[in-house]
Amino acid sequence: MSMTSSQPSHIATGVFEVQHPLIECHMTRLRDANTPPAEVRAHVRRLATLLAYEATQDLAIKQTQVTTPLKTTTGGLLAQRVGLIPILRAGLGMVDPVLDLIPSAEVWHLGLYRDEDTARPVEYYSKLPPGRPVDVALVVDPMLATGGSMLAALQTLQAWGVSKVKLLSIIASEEGIKNVEAEFPDAQIYVCKIDPELNDAKFIVPGLGDAGDRIFNTLG
């Protein structure tokens, strides 16, 4: 894979591994076990920005007129309701950079934790509104390991009635991607890096460790 391409690499239908020299640099620092929490947060923000740029290239816009200091011209504004759904807690680290790009996005939270005995997600919080769902949902979580949390989020969004969902993760495992694709083949997955395997504890290898602990400095 070329390190100089700014285009996402199509791994499979609907799966995009975004390639860019800046992603490679920030990812290298993020993986480093010696990178302090403040710098980890900064790299997550930068990588989330680059991911969101790629994932939103097909958003619909509506034409409008704008008056500059010199004359009136034509421009475009977003024509869709965009929902930003962070999976608590690590997903919170990716919210602000996406909101910087899409200030009008609605932020709805899903709380999921991993049962350490079964490695399966347990939902403890869901804040989705009644009524008409958003047009496009961006689900953000730094790690897509087994895919369990993403699958739970997709099931919740499907029940809400969202027709278009994009998953944004900093690192994903091959197994996690396959698990998501098997149940939700229409969901688009955008990642900065796809790692080959999970260890016995279901952590991505080589990965970056526990994203939530490294972002929020709770390693103990």
User: Given the DSSP bridges, would you call strands 15-18 and 188-195 parallel, antiparallel or unpaired?
Assistant: parallel
* Owning domain of residue 143: 8-59+79-216
- First CA to last CA distance, the chain: 37
CA distances from 143 to 41, 89, 129, 153 (A): 14, 11, 26, 14
Is 71 a domain residue?
Answer: no
Residue 135 lies in a domain: yes
Whole-angstrom distance, CA of residue 179 vs CA of residue 184? 9
CB atoms within 10 A of CB 113: 15
Q: How far apart are CA 20 and CA 191, in angstroms?
A: 12
pLDDT of residue 115: 64
Concatenate the DSSP letters of all residues of 137-167 into one string. Answer: EEEE-SEESSSHHHHHHHHHHHHHT-SEEEE
* Amino acid identity, position 199: N
Q: β-strand 61-67 against 72-78: which pairing, if any?
A: antiparallel
In three-state secondary structure terms, 125 is: strand
Domain assignment of residue 111, yes or no: yes
The answer as to whether 147 is a domain residue is: yes
- Going by C-alpha positions, the residue among 26, 73, 68, 63 that lies closest to residue 47 is 26
**72 in a structural domain:** no
pLDDT score at 130:
79
What pLDDT does residue 6 have?
45
**Buried/exposed 163-178: b ≥16 CB within 10 Å, e otherwise:** ebbbbbbbbbbebbbe
Output the six-digit token pair for 162.
């969202």
114-119: Cβ within 8 A, 24+ apart? 114/148, 114/149, 114/202, 119/146, 119/148, 119/201, 119/202
| pLDDT score of 3 | 35
The pLDDT profile of the chain, 220 residues, written as one tens digit per residue, is: 333 344 455 445 699 999 999 999 999 999 999 999 999 999 999 999 999 999 999 999 999 999 999 999 999 999 999 999 999 888 999 999 999 999 999 998 887 666 666 656 667 667 777 788 999 999 999 999 999 989 989 998 998 999 999 999 999 999 999 999 999 999 999 999 999 999 998 999 999 999 989 999 998 6
Q: What is the pLDDT of residue 109?
A: 85
The domain tally of the chain equals 1
CATH of the domain at 176: 3.40.50.2020
